[in-house]
Amino acid sequence: MSDPKNTLKKLQFVLFFGHMANDWCPGALWILLPAIGMAFDLEPSQIGLLVAIHAIGSGIAYLPAGILSDRIQKQGRILLLTFWWVGIGYISASQAPGFWSLALLLALAGMGDAVWHPVATGILARKMPKQRGQALGTHAIGGTLATTLSPLFAGFLLSIFDWREVLTISAGPALLMGFIFFWHVKQVPSSPPNKLSRKDLKAVKKLWVSSSGLALVATVSTYNMAVMALTTITPLFLQKSWGVSPGKAGAVFATAMLIGAIGQPIVGRISDRIGRKSILVSGSILGAICAILAGFSIGVSWVSFNLALGIGILVAIRSGVMAFAVDFSGKREATTLGFLFVLMDSVGAIGAVIAGLIADIQLYYAFFLSAGLSLISILTMIFVKQKK
């Protein structure tokens, strides 16, 4: 008879690397955006729009994937499908002839990556109900490591290839995992036969339209708008304002993601013990301070340090934000996480659009926007009543 603890560890291991493979190409995209902008002669606002459309594509898939996950027992097959969707999707995007075709294909590719998240995190939230923050934080490391390593790799490859070839190469990990995962589908546990009824949906709706629910929606939305504003403009700002090479800009971005990767399970574990609000408030304040300091262009080292630290801190508290929402909902983990990812990506994408519009005036104004959004997320959090 297998040891339940070992089985759970194997599951976490498989989902960790699956998450990393699916998020590799979206991570590389952050460093590819300036190169795409140069190729298509785009303004910062158009780059922000490209990020937003990509995120909205993901947002369209999140909630249906979460609901589907709560209805279908054989969830390993859904996870297997995502690797092929992601790989083929981003390779197709690399052949786009213009801005709008690229935006559409990136949105379609993003849907495949989106399906992974509520399904995988829903499984972990069900299997580890008393350690949700830690479980979600550990799983998140896979994605954050992808966005740590892939910008470095993409930045290096851009010195040899054009953005189309680099995007194609970056789709490789998802396709490779698509083959490997065939041997691990059975390790993904079947969910209990627990269909989501119309009554359940009404209960979920009632919860989220309550005063606390709406406050939490505002908290999650403004939090991720702050993250998207900062991450969208950072590589562009370093390259345009300071003449930093794509490789070095990738290194700064990778450092930020590494800080976030290390921080997520730590933040998740601490929030499991002392509560979500205090850790989220502290992280948001620190992230806002770093964003403001980055706006004062004292020197490239100063700017790079504050941007890396600010993004890293905001990414680190993501696991706490997710656990906060699951705690609030109390059940239907995959559906809740699907809804949460919609807020984070689709609504959060507004941050990228606004940042792009502001960056048309001055690139560093986007950092002040990010700081303001972080502080707004703290204010809205005050009105969320936590369940005991």
| Spatial contact of 185 and 77, defined as CB atoms under 8 Å apart | yes
Structure tokens at 122: 């829903």
pLDDT (tens digit per residue) in 151-162: 999 999 999 999
Residue 326 confidence class, pLDDT cut points 50, 70, 90: confident
Q: In the chain, where are the structural domains located?
A: 4-183+196-381
310/289 Cα distance (integer angstroms): 8
Instruction: Please compute the mean of the pLDDT values over residues 189-209 and round it to a whole number.
Output: 70
> Helix, strand, or coil here: 188?
coil
Non-local CB neighbours of 48 within 8 Å, separated by 6+ positions: 232, 233, 352, 353, 354, 355, 356, 357, 359
Q: What is the pLDDT of residue 197?
A: 64
Non-local CB neighbours of 278 within 8 Å, separated by 6+ positions: none
- The proportion of the chain whose per-residue pLDDT surpasses 90, expressed as a percent, equals 58
> Helix, strand, or coil here: 61?
helix
pTM: 0.84
Instruction: Please compute the mean of the pLDDT values over residues 347-375 and round it to a whole number.
Output: 95
Non-local CB neighbours of 230 within 8 Å, separated by 6+ positions: 291, 307, 310, 311, 314, 355, 366, 367, 370
Just give the CATH number of 4-183+196-381.
Answer: 1.20.1250.20
pLDDT (tens digit per residue) in 80-91: 999 999 999 999
Q: In this predicted model, which residue has the larger pLDDT, 67 or 252?
A: 252
User: Position of tokens 């590819």?
Assistant: 32
User: From the CA atom positions of the chain, what is the Rg in Å?
Assistant: 20
367/231 Cα distance (integer angstroms): 10
- CA-angle at 269, arms to 210 and 347, nearest 5°: 40
